[in-house]
Structure 1
Amino acid sequence: MSVFNASRLLGKTVLVTGASSGIGAATAILFAKGGANLILLARRADALKAIADACTTAHKESGVQQGGKVATIQLDVSDKAQVSGLLDKIPAELRAIDVLVNNAGYVLGVERVGEIAASDIEGMFATNVLGLISVTQLFIKDFKQRNTGHVINIGSIAGREAYAGGSIYCATKHAVSAFTGSLMRELVDTSIRVTEIQPGMVETEFSVIRFRGNKAAADKVYEGLHPLTAEDIAEEIVWAASRPPHVNLAEVFVLPVNQASATLNYRGNRL
């Protein structure tokens, strides 16, 4: 816990979307270690339960006396009806959210423009953009009323620069970046913080999904270099959330040491 001032997280309530695996799961566990209460959202109920158990264990092992409450809600952020009914599913004692981590998102396929299935396009935008916006809108009114809160959106290097074979994913992450920037400017006269975390190459099941379950193809993406891990990004998220109230890390761009851009990397130095 030496990477951040854990005392600032004690008793805080953190909601994480896409919490059943990867960055979302690692983030939830690290917040639990810091003494936060958690509301975990994801589509997969079984995986979500496993992460909730891991959070409970992590909190107990940390020895922290505050926080430790964990609620799970099976929810697809791309489903407007499910999002609109979310508040009613949150336990009453956890409804005052302090930190919203919009992590849910995915990329599917590497097809070029003209070859991309309409369902893939619609799915990525529904989750990565519309879902993120819908969840944010649900909680931002309460943040404004209480003049407190922190929105942390998980962007990507794909939101900074486009690359071939990623047109739709890049478009969604550029949208996330624009939305985040606008939100921060709209809230400049409040105490609400807005952060975008922009990871480069992170090795999680994210790439397996991109290659439609072909793990060999996914592994090849990271061949010969040492990519970031979900835990690396979780540290940046929790670090941002644990800054003093007057400090806002507006943008955190995180790369493995041997990556310089979306397409420029060195593969001869597996650390």
Structure 2
Amino acid sequence: MNPSQTNPSRPDQTPRTALVTGASTGIGEATVRALAGQGWQVFAVARREDRLAALAAQTGAVALAGDVTDDAAVARILDAVSSAGGVDTLINVAGGARGADQLGQAKTEDWEWMFQANVIGSMKLIRAFLPMLRAGRRGTVLNLTSTAALVAYEGGAGYNAAKAAQRAMTQALRLEEVGNNLRVIEVLPGMVQTEEFALNRLGDRERAAQVYRGVAEPLTAEDVADVVRYAVSLPHHVNLDEIVLRPVAQAAAHKVVRDS
């Protein structure tokens, strides 16, 4: 008997396989490392081949370069994973924010990029891999959204809208696929300090650094990855539907304690 069957608080030790998107940096990269360190076979997906190759060399993950918003790339990824034996877990981390304009100054290209990266990319991966996940009858989909999906804030309308849409998609998927025993998990981080998130959003290193100014301990990519690893490693009948995590210094989206 698997020990985890008698103690649901213990992670399942059965060999598992996962595909992780956004794997070239930040939470995606940390998630690949966390799962590989626990013995998972991991397929790491991102656009930057050089970073994926380095990650694969360090972790044993299989590097699959491609843009998850591109249909041809998604088809190639699916073919490669199928040929290698498939996966039982899909973890959508790819996404991000662009800009911090208020709605009256919104840039259409920023909004289009956020919906493509956060919503359309996740949809395309889920749609492609659902037959595989259904067939095993013990599949898992985990979508990384954000507390921005829960509470709107000034200058965040585009990211709020994209993450709220991704959250709604996740909730609908859970309802639609429960008959196929598909486990659907949503992880909603608050303030996470990573190498690129704020820089990509604001386009300036000094402005990006100000996001975390005076916050003693923002979450790290590794903090979030450890939560993701735990959630997908539990016995399959245990579903952590929604996991909100923030640093202690961030009591709410609008309440962050900063050192003077």
TM over 0.5: yes
Q: Does 1:236 align with 2:242?
A: no
Q: Does 1:83 align with 2:84?
A: no
CA deviations over 1:63-94 (Å, ceiling 9, x no partner): xxxxxxx2111111121222133222336233
Partner of 2:241: 250
Preserved contact between residue 13 and residue 94 of structure 1 (Cα < 8 Å): no
Partner of 1:146: 136
CA deviations over 1:114-167 (Å, ceiling 9, x no partner): 322222111111111011011001111222222121000001000111111111
Offset of 1:54 from its aligned partner? 2.3
Name the CA distance, whole Å, in 1 between partners of 2:139 and 2:168: 20
RMSD: 1.6
* Corresponding residue SS for 1:94: coil
Structure with more strand by fraction: 2
Pick aligned residue for 1:198 from 188, 196, 202 = 188
Q: Does 1:12 align with 2:16?
A: yes
Name the CA distance, whole Å, in 2 between partners of 1:206 and 1:12: 29
Offset of 1:10 from its aligned partner? 4.7
Name the CA distance, whole Å, in 2 between partners of 1:87 and 1:177: 24
Name the CA distance, whole Å, in 1 between partners of 2:73 and 2:193: 30
Preserved contact between residue 89 and residue 133 of structure 2 (Cα < 8 Å): no
Name the CA distance, whole Å, in 2 between partners of 1:91 and 1:189: 23
Give, as a single letter, the amino acid of the residue that structure 1 aligns with 2:200. I
Offset of 1:5 from its aligned partner? 4.2
Identity across matched positions, percent: 39
| 1:1-271 correspondence runs (5 A) | 5=10, 8-56=12-60, 70-90=61-81, 92-95=83-86, 97-204=87-194, 205-212=196-203, 214-225=204-215, 226-268=217-259
Preserved contact between residue 77 and residue 132 of structure 1 (Cα < 8 Å): yes
Partner of 1:65: none
CA deviations over 1:34-81 (Å, ceiling 9, x no partner): 00001010011111111112213xxxxxxxxxxxxx211111112122
Label 1:181 to 1:90 Cα distance change in 2 as closer, same or farther (>3 A). Answer: same
TM-score between both structures, scaled by the size of structure 1 = 0.88
Give, as a single letter, the amino acid of the residue that structure 2 aligns with 1:209. N
For this pair of structures, how many residues does the alignment match? 250
Offset of 1:268 from its aligned partner? 2.7
Give, as a single letter, the amino acid of the residue that structure 1 aligns with 2:21. T
In structure 2, stretches of 5+ residues that fail to align are 1-8
Offset of 1:99 from its aligned partner? 1.0
Label 1:9 to 1:122 Cα distance change in 2 as closer, same or farther (>3 A). Answer: farther
CA deviations over 1:185-228 (Å, ceiling 9, x no partner): 1122232110000000000111111111x122111111111100
